[in-house]
């Protein structure tokens, strides 16, 4: 089963490479960063993706077990649905 979860980088999540090194969640406005085959809390294999659109205050970080681009499309579609319910 596939999953897409927004990652709260403010909590300093533990995501490690196969070599056991921490993944650095550093990104500049206008950038997109993808990681494949890293481990959340050293156990769950995930593919993090970070996107920082120029018009936003902070980047969007997602973790998924899907391809990163597919996860971003799914997340954006979900957010459109949730925003349509805000009145």
Q: What are 27-51's pLDDT values in tens digits? A: 999 999 999 999 998 899 999 999 9
Give CA–CA dist 5/45, Å, rounded: 13
3 state SS of 82: helix
Q: Count CB neighbours of 71 within 10 A.
A: 23
How does residue 73 score in pLDDT terms, banded at 50, 70 and 90? very high
Give CA–CA dist 49/67, Å, rounded: 9
Q: Which pair of structure tokens corresponds to residue 81?
A: 């649905």
């Amino acid at each position: 089963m596939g999953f897409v979860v927004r990652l709260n980088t403010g909590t300093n999540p533990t995501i490690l490479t196969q070599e056991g090194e921490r993944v650095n969640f550093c990104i500049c406005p206008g950038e997109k960063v993808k990681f494949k085959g890293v481990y959340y809390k050293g156990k769950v294999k995930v593919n993090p993706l970070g996107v920082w659109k120029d018009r936003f205050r902070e980047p969007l970080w997602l973790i998924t077990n899907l391809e990163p681009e597919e996860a971003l499309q799914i997340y954006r579609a979900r957010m459109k649905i949730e925003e349509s319910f805000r009145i």
